[in-house]
Copies of this chain bind each other. A is one copy, B any other.
């Protein structure tokens, strides 16, 4: 078998995915071109359409790979926090590394928007977010939250994304300063 070739192909495919992940934040979802990705990945333009049916396919695969890793990491870390207050503080601390203008934030936002025009992407992204919210909700109840944990988890997740969004326009916005009202939300629940 040509296992050597297949292995090389897999690493090339991964390089294309990585290149897409770095390019989307730079030039926007719709601004990524075949030749751009190929150049950044260090391969010939034709390779892109050998490994992916279209540029959009490549972007979808790259984006979903990124969010999977991100959300899985967040969920795992959150589960390890001993209490709700600690968890929120930790989340806000994490958030400080997402300025809203950093590559990760931009990629996620670009995916949100692209998903409104790509049903398949919307479907798969929705499943990921739903799973994350479920984890947060069960974590809240497990640590004594008495209100509607589903609603609280939804609001928490939405607030986090909203904060990132606003930080993009107001770099002076400090997530830590929002801890008080955010903790109040769950203390009262």
Chain A residues packing against B (C-beta within 8 Å): 27-31, 101, 106, 109-110, 112-117, 122, 125-126, 129-130, 147-148, 151-152, 154-155, 157-163, 165-166, 168-170, 173, 177-178, 180-182, 184-189
Residue of B nearest to A28 (CB): B30
- Taken together as a complex, chains A and B put the C-alpha atoms of A147 and B170 apart, in Å, by 21
Report the copy number of this chain in the oligomer.
2
Contact of A159 among B109, B110, B115, B162 (CB under 8 A): B162
Contacts of A157 in B (CB 8 A): 162, 166
Query: 15 new A-B pairs (CB below 8 Å) besides A30-B31, A184-B184?
Result: A27-B117, A109-B113, A126-B170, A129-B166, A130-B170, A151-B178, A158-B178, A159-B159, A162-B162, A165-B165, A181-B185, A182-B185, A184-B185, A185-B185, A187-B188
